[in-house]
Amino acid sequence: MQNFKLIIEYDGTTYHGWQRQKDVPTVQGTIEAALETMTGRLVTVIGSGRTDAGVHALNQVAHFFVDTRLTPEIFIKGLNGLLPGDIVIKDCQVVARPFHARYDAWSKAYDYYIWNRPIPAALFRQYAWHVKKSLNLNTMRKAMSCLKGKHDFSAFQATGSPRFHAVRTVMDVSLTANEADGHLVFSIEADGFLRCMVRNIVGTLVDVGTGRVSPEEFENILMSKDRKQAGITAPPHGLFLREVKYGPSLSEAA
């Protein structure tokens, strides 16, 4: 049995998220079906984490075990030939058997895209949230500075989610802007994320940008651990899993 590590890019528009589900298309299920065609075996693909319906990934990491003579190069070529165009295998490697895409991840980085201008976009409209009202970026940056460090992020966790493991450590957070076209990118890296955490943070930060919530109130929302005090959940189509980081020894080939 060999352990194969995949780097996957996908457009989540037509999928019900990463995790395999019965009778609906998912990214995991689609890749597993392609692997079954190639190997003649039922293969379980384990991702670094779940992405929700409509969320995209630039570099999702996954692994699977299979007893095969097929090489990583053959898997890349074969899977990309079998998969639909909205899922692409960017890389495949044989890695050490202990490597686990989910449990060995040190951190994950997400980007959330916003079009902040009165007029919507024709191109890329499926990959950014259109916010018509002008946003005060300086105020948003002031508010989100409180996110860095170790906190209980229950206030930004999806309602109804388990409340244990709500403590996460944010290593980096930023907001960049292209003032010429109103394109904003909110970026965040943490050791883990709660369900809808990034989208709930973005929804509340937009309230800060429009003046509905002050930076001080934003920090109070974080400290409250109360989801009801936070803003709306930003739509999924603006969210991208950009990177998953591992320790160097776990990324080395077997």
pLDDT by residue (tens digit) across 106-121?
999 999 999 999 999 8
Q: Is residue 124 part of a domain?
A: yes
Q: In degrees rounded to 5, what are phi and psi of residue 230? A: -85, 175
Where a domain ends, among 79, 103, 127? 103
Same domain, 216 and 130: yes
pTM summary value: 0.93
What is the pLDDT, as a whole number, of residue 141?
A: 97
Q: Is residue 188 part of a domain?
A: yes
Same domain, 48 and 162: no
What type of residue is 46?
Answer: I
Alpha-carbon distances of 209 from 188, 206, 223, 224, 252, rounded to whole Å = 17, 5, 20, 20, 43
Host H or E run for residue 73? helix 72-82
How large is the average pLDDT for residues 96-110? 95
What is the pLDDT, as a whole number, of residue 179?
A: 75
Structure tokens at 206: 């937009």
How large is the average pLDDT for residues 141-145? 97
The residues facing 239 across adjacent strands are 112
What is the pLDDT, as a whole number, of residue 249?
A: 59
DSSP secondary structure of 125-140: GGGSEEE-S---HHHH
Same domain, 113 and 87: no
What is the pLDDT, as a whole number, of residue 159?
A: 76
Host H or E run for residue 141? helix 137-144
Q: Is residue 125 part of a domain?
A: yes
For residue 37, the 8-state DSSP code is H
| Structural domain boundaries enclosing 11 | 2-103
How large is the average pLDDT for residues 155-169? 82
How large is the average pLDDT for residues 5-14? 97
Whether the per-residue pLDDT at 177 is higher than 90: the answer is: yes
d(CA 43, CA 90): 19
The residues facing 240 across adjacent strands are 56, 111
How many structural domains comprise the chain?
2
Same domain, 133 and 9: no
Residues 6+ apart with CB under 8 A from 14: 25, 86
Q: Is residue 253 part of a domain?
A: no
**Other beta carbons less than 10 A from residue 103's beta carbon:** 10
Alpha-carbon distances of 243 from 15, 43, 48, 52, 89, rounded to whole Å = 20, 24, 10, 16, 15
Same domain, 195 and 160: yes
Whether the per-residue pLDDT at 253 is higher than 50: the answer is: no
Same domain, 114 and 210: yes
Catalytic residues: 52
How large is the average pLDDT for residues 145-166? 86
